[in-house]
Structure 1
Amino acid sequence: MTSSNRTLMTDIDIQPNTDGLPGIDQFEKIVGAMMTVGLICAVLAVIISAIVWAAGANSSNPSLAGRGKTGVLIALVAAVICGAAVAVVNFAHGIGQAV
């Protein structure tokens, strides 16, 4: 490789562009709406799982109570993932830019 090729390869600087394609604003709105739907579903799952957990505990059914506990934990993890998705992707993008 010649020195001019090396210089050319190190001079490339491409950044994310929100003006590059038509419809990016609408796509961002759709993704935000899907995040909202995910969070609403996570809240619903916590409520239903808590009811199952309570029903299992009150009826002395450890299997049902265990499934309710598991459901609550899974729903909470799903909510954390939905809420942190943008921050995690931005963090990973920052790592990629540093490489």
Structure 2
Amino acid sequence: MFAHLTTMATIELAQRAAGPDFGAVGGSADMRAVIGALLTYGLMLACLMLIISAAAWALLSSSGSWQSAAKAKTGVFVAVGGAALTGGALTWANWLLDVGAAL
């Protein structure tokens, strides 16, 4: 029984030594900073688009321009979706970088 455990431990050590060394690849901190900055700008643009579309929706609805108000309403929904996707992309990118460092 102990011979089997010793053999398994030796195989596990050999597999660890034969795997790629992801620590040798530099630049993950720089990549995290660049991705974070780009997604932050994307989130700021989505929030700006939300504010502009909501204001246009309110103004156009009150003035009776229903077709333009419908387009502004679509802009609000696109902005909310874009903000949600951008926030989710930042979280997903950080998770992927953490998983890649743990391999």
TM over 0.5: yes
1:36 match: 40
Q: Normalised by the size of structure 2, how large is the TM-score?
A: 0.64
Secondary structure at the aligned position of 1:22 is classed as coil
Please report the RMSD computed on the Cα atoms of aligned residues, expressed in angstroms: 2.9
Q: 1:15 to 1:78 in 2, by over 3 A?
A: farther
In structure 2, the partner of 1:48 is 52
Q: Deviations over 1:27-48 (max 9, x none)?
A: 1101000111011001100011
Task: Mark the runs of 5 or more structure 2 residues left unpaired by the alignment.
Answer: 1-14
Q: Which residue of 2 aligns with 1:27?
A: 31
Aligned AA for 1:26?
A: D
Indicate if the aligned counterparts of 2:35 and 2:90 stay in contact, CA closer than 8 A: no
Contact 2:53 2:73 in 1 (8 A): yes
TM-score by length of 1: 0.67
CA contact (8 A) 1:55 1:64 kept: no
Distance 1:28 1:58 in 2: 45
Cα distance, 1:86 vs. partner?
A: 4.4
The structure whose Rg is larger is 2
Give the gaps of 5 or more residues in structure 1.
1-10, 95-99
Residues 46 and 72 of structure 1 are in contact (CA less than 8 Å); yes or no, is this contact kept in structure 2? yes
- Maintained 8 Å contact 2:50/2:76: yes
